Structure 1
Amino acid sequence: MIPSTAIKLVRHNVANRMMTRSMHDLSMRQKTGQVMIKHGLGGRSTTNGHIATVFGCTGFLGRYVVNRLARQGTQVVVPYRDPDEARHLKVTGDLGQIIPLEFDLRNKEQLRECVRHSDIVYNLVGRDYETKNFTFDAVHVDGARQIAEACAENGVARFVQMSALNASEDSTSRFLQSKALGERAVKEVIPDATIVRPGIMWGHEDRFLNRIGTGDGWEFYTNEGNTKIRPVSAVDVAHGLEVIFTAESSMGKTYEFYGPKEYKVKEIFDLARDITMKPLPIRHIPNSLLKYGAGLIEKLPYNQTISADLIERRSMDDKISADAFTFEDLYINPTELEHVAIQFMRRFRSNAVFDLPYEKGEGKVQKGVYHLID
């Protein structure tokens, strides 16, 4: 026979579970009037009723966005070209919450299938270099337009287009030109789309700090290292995209996400030297020679490292638009690179100094220790 205290405890738990759903469990998309009902107690195992599609989910930023959406109970569609590239995303959400779908950017039917049931779509698709099959315009302009058209045809309530800081139709960089043209293409199809322009992003899988840390003796300066940049954490950018997810007030706005501090490129290298305790020599090569050499290298097959357009971008200072919204408008305090850089660059140290602490401003002392040990 079951004790009466156990019966009371069961009834109490059932009553609490029945009371967990209330008015705050209901949300509605203003544009479509679609109602989402949350089920569960909150967190990763909750179903909040939202369905999101994240194009470009297999890239550097995509995994952070998928993780942030999935852990709040959003069902996330993750379009992929190679199933192996999307496999790691399955564990970011609860069972059945991550839905992988194969797609081709030029296949409209597959695009429609990926967005058919979603109430928000993120387009994070982008390329740092061109190939014979996918140019900057094919990906950033034509591809963005086709995704936006698929969303418009299927009544998707929200659309977020990922662009880039410094994007301008008058830019001397083809990459930044195509990003600006992509913004315009999306706005022509979905006028209330949200545009996000991040600066150079850093994180564990980036092509920024990792390139500096692994390029011992092979790195080079453009503009003699005087280019001014505002690097931003990929986690902070993903956080901003998560806030935009439910912030209906962000519709039709343009956001620029950049770090709280401006650095010259050579200051980033100095920071890397202090943390890694390595000399990290730099080659001083005139921009004209760099562009000429990069133009030859980019014609080689399977080149994914350097191009003339990349040299052009590395020579441009980050410019902030006065009329764009920022992290501050989303109540986010971005992380300053030098405060956490050791978490991302310690692994480039030698075994002899791997465990030594790092404190800002003590680079000279640590370099001395490194030389003594070596």
Structure 2
Amino acid sequence: MQNLVTVFGGSGFVGTQAVRYLAKAGWRIRVAVRNPNLAYRMRLLGDVGQIDVVQANLRDRPSLERALEGATATLNLVGLLYETGRQGFQAVHVMGARNVAEVSRAMGVERLVQMSALGADENSSAKYARTKAEAEIEVRAVYPDAAMVRPSVVFGQGDGFFNRFAAMAQLSPVLPLIGGGATRFQPVFVGDVGQALARIVGDVDNPGQTYELGGPGVFTFRELMEMLLVQIDQRRLLAPIPFPVAGLLGKVGDLTAALLPPPVTSDQVELLKTDNVVSGVYPGLDELGITPSTLEAILPTYLYRYRKGGQYADQEDRVMAVHPQG
């Protein structure tokens, strides 16, 4: 079977967009997920018979072999934002990526693209960034020509960043600015990331390339929270939280993560000690021929549900409510 790409984690936030653009590019796609019953809608993203959904677990090599049979390319998007029980960074990011690479090689897959993260660093104090870097090393030990994709914070409908803080602002009069809110981010739109992944999968002329994906603007954490409050038409106190205090709050989040998504974990506090912007050393969206979407254009398309009046609330009134004259 030619022109077949197996996408691990293809039903997730980023994966759905990657599958959409791969389908537009004419690929046959096999979406490999732990629970296919929850991913049946993926088939609707392409033509009849173009997209299939199969069961696979990164710990189970026979399931990986079934998912990769006949594939010419592998796209591994599986990752965690925080740890819960057996779903740990080392098991999923490092061991999972190595299993995918080794089985892909054994099954004769020609090309592999690995989703990493901006800030991946094997010397990082944050386990998330450290294991993302270790995954890159493990994959390239098997596929020296594998492509690595490192996005900044990814935003869009269903994201885990703006939606989380918008929901928090509905319940709390205070939004925390961890470390004072000075950490810089370069948020990138999920649709742009999906399009980039599809192009990278099909690019056979630049083996072994690393890509850093960031949007057109760089913002501090404080600026992102101010922008969010404008969009949801809420007045909230932005309270600076020193890193030592935030670390204690993060430990509480570590304990509750198995029961509900935590506001912040201790590892995420460590991540916030380092800026999350592209280095300029590696190619990005521009080199892939993609014009990055702006936060200002996209945020109103999905954050409206957190404000009174929804999408019918007046934009000018919302700006005046958050930034009154005088």
Q: Tell me the TM-score normalised to structure 1 length.
A: 0.80
> What is the aligned partner in structure 1 of residue 130 from structure 2?
177
CA contact (8 A) 1:52 1:77 kept: yes
> What is the aligned partner in structure 2 of residue 17 from structure 1?
none
**Paired AA for residue 210 in structure 2:** T
Cα distance in 2 for residues equivalent to 1:93 and 1:318: 34
Question: Which whole-Å deviations, capped at 9, do the CAs of 1:75-98 have from their partners, x for residues lacking one?
Answer: 211111123321221211222222
Question: Which whole-Å deviations, capped at 9, do the CAs of 1:151-177 have from their partners, x for residues lacking one?
Answer: 111111110000000100111101000
Q: 2:291 matched to 1:318?
A: no
1:240/1:364 Cα in 2 relative to 1: closer, same or farther (>3 Å)?
Answer: closer
**Paired AA for residue 332 in structure 1:** I
CA contact (8 A) 1:69 1:242 kept: yes
Structure 2 residue corresponding to 1:213, chosen from 150, 160, 166:
166
Cα distance in 1 for residues equivalent to 2:104 and 2:151: 23
> What is the aligned partner in structure 2 of residue 222 from structure 1?
178
Cα distance in 1 for residues equivalent to 2:26 and 2:288: 21
Question: Offset of 1:322 from its aligned partner?
Answer: 4.1
Cα distance in 1 for residues equivalent to 2:195 and 2:283: 15
Structure 1 residue corresponding to 2:215, chosen from 256, 259, 265:
259
> What is the aligned partner in structure 1 of residue 27 from structure 2?
74
Question: Offset of 1:116 from its aligned partner?
Answer: 1.5
Structure 1 residue corresponding to 2:192, chosen from 236, 247, 252:
236
Question: Which whole-Å deviations, capped at 9, do the CAs of 1:246-275 have from their partners, x for residues lacking one?
Answer: 221232100000111110111111112222
Question: Offset of 1:195 from its aligned partner?
Answer: 0.4
Please say which of residues 150-159 and 278-287 is displaced more in the overlay: 278-287
Structure 2 residue corresponding to 1:190, chosen from 139, 143, 147:
143
CA contact (8 A) 2:112 2:201 kept: no
Question: Offset of 1:291 from its aligned partner?
Answer: 1.0
> What is the aligned partner in structure 1 of residue 224 from structure 2?
268
**Paired AA for residue 260 in structure 1:** P
**Paired AA for residue 248 in structure 1:** V
**Paired AA for residue 134 in structure 1:** Q
Which of these two proteins has the greater Rg computed from alpha carbons? 1
**Paired AA for residue 291 in structure 1:** G
CA contact (8 A) 2:65 2:107 kept: yes
Q: 2:298 matched to 1:340?
A: yes
Cα distance in 2 for residues equivalent to 1:81 and 1:296: 29
**Paired AA for residue 252 in structure 1:** G
Cα distance in 2 for residues equivalent to 1:174 and 1:259: 25
> What is the aligned partner in structure 2 of residue 365 from structure 1?
320
> What is the aligned partner in structure 2 of residue 304 from structure 1?
261
1:224/1:239 Cα in 2 relative to 1: closer, same or farther (>3 Å)?
Answer: same
1:211/1:191 Cα in 2 relative to 1: closer, same or farther (>3 Å)?
Answer: same
- SS state of the match for residue 63, structure 1? helix
- SS state of the match for residue 266, structure 1? helix
Q: How does 1:1-374 map to 2 (within 5 A)?
A: 49-216=2-169, 217=172, 219-300=175-256, 301-305=258-262, 306-351=264-309, 354-358=311-315, 364-365=319-320, 367=322
Cα distance in 2 for residues equivalent to 1:202 and 1:364: 21
How many matched pairs?
A: 319
| Structure having greater relative contact order (Cα 8 Å, sep ≥ 6) | 2
1:357/1:113 Cα in 2 relative to 1: closer, same or farther (>3 Å)?
Answer: same
Question: Offset of 1:348 from its aligned partner?
Answer: 1.4
Please say which of residues 283-292 and 129-138 is displaced more in the overlay: 283-292
Q: Tell me the TM-score normalised to structure 2 length.
A: 0.92
- SS state of the match for residue 282, structure 1? strand
Please say which of residues 334-343 and 206-215 is displaced more in the overlay: 334-343
Structure 1, unmatched stretches of 5+, are 1-35, 37-48, 370-374
Cα distance in 2 for residues equivalent to 1:89 and 1:184: 31
**Paired AA for residue 216 in structure 2:** P
Cα distance in 2 for residues equivalent to 1:363 and 1:198: 31
> What is the aligned partner in structure 2 of residue 11 from structure 1?
none
Question: Offset of 1:319 from its aligned partner?
Answer: 4.2
Question: Offset of 1:368 from its aligned partner?
Answer: 7.9
Give percent identity, aligned residues only: 31
CA contact (8 A) 1:125 1:140 kept: yes
**Paired AA for residue 125 in structure 1:** V
Question: Offset of 1:198 from its aligned partner?
Answer: 0.4
Question: Offset of 1:302 from its aligned partner?
Answer: 2.0
1:269/1:368 Cα in 2 relative to 1: closer, same or farther (>3 Å)?
Answer: closer
CA contact (8 A) 1:221 1:282 kept: yes
Q: Report the RMSD for the aligned CA atoms in angstroms.
A: 2.0
